[in-house]
Amino acid sequence: MSITRERLRQTFSEGGAQEIYQEVKSEGDFLGFARRYVFDSDYKVSRSALWGLTKAKAPELSTLQPLLNELIDQAIHTENSSVRRLTLNIIERLEMREDDLRTDFLDFCFEHAVKGDEFPGVQTLCMKLAYRMSKPYPELLDELRRLLETMEIEYYKPAVKGIRNKILSGKLR
């Protein structure tokens, strides 16, 4: 069965995402698949394509490195929380060099890491990404620590608390 927009629009299960991944893997064209479907204007298509790509192993995902800036743009601008979370998941698994720092993305991550109405998956990914981007810059790392220290932590889910505590204790790698 080949991957089409219509099929992606109807993929709603873990098994369906795994099937998409296996087909893309057998074709060996992760980058072409991502270019075709990840940025689709139909959030169902985009979400399913991203979900399938989250199943990829590190070497397979590394082929998406040329799309880093487009993925960042999507994470910042999408209004769909599932697309945002899945896009952040892929960004988090790509290489980010010091010279890749985008202040708009760092600001986005700072904001969404502590945003009370954001989903915990997005919050934790934003914390991890903010930490990675801030690590080379002591002043940014201090700013992140201050932000995390001022969180009213009792209002957050355990996953968010856990990542926050790992960052503050220096145990997040």
pLDDT in tens, the chain (173 residues): 589 999 999 978 999 999 999 999 999 999 999 999 999 999 999 999 999 999 999 999 999 999 999 999 999 999 999 999 999 999 999 999 988 799 999 999 999 999 989 999 999 999 999 999 999 999 999 999 999 999 998 889 999 999 999 999 988 87
- pTM (predicted TM-score): 0.94
Other beta carbons within 10 Å of 29: 13
Dihedral (CA of 109, 110, 113, 117) sign: negative
Residue 148: strand, helix, or coil? helix
pLDDT of residue 23: 96
Q: Which helix (H) or strand (E) holds 22?
A: helix 14-27
pLDDT of residue 100: 79
pLDDT of residue 99: 85
15 conformational bin, left if phi > 0, alpha if psi -120 to 50, beta if neither: alpha
Residues 6+ apart with CB under 8 A from 31: 63, 64, 66, 67
Q: Tell me how far apart the alpha carbons of residues 147 and 141 are, in angstroms, rounded to a whole number.
A: 10
pLDDT of residue 90: 98
pLDDT of residue 1: 53
Q: Tell me how far apart the alpha carbons of residues 137 and 135 are, in angstroms, rounded to a whole number.
A: 5
pLDDT of residue 96: 93
Supply 68's token pair. 């880093």
168: exposed, middle or buried (C-beta count within 10 Å: 0-12, 13-18, 19+)? Answer: middle
DSSP per-residue letters across 103-121? HHHHHHHHHHHH-TTS-HH
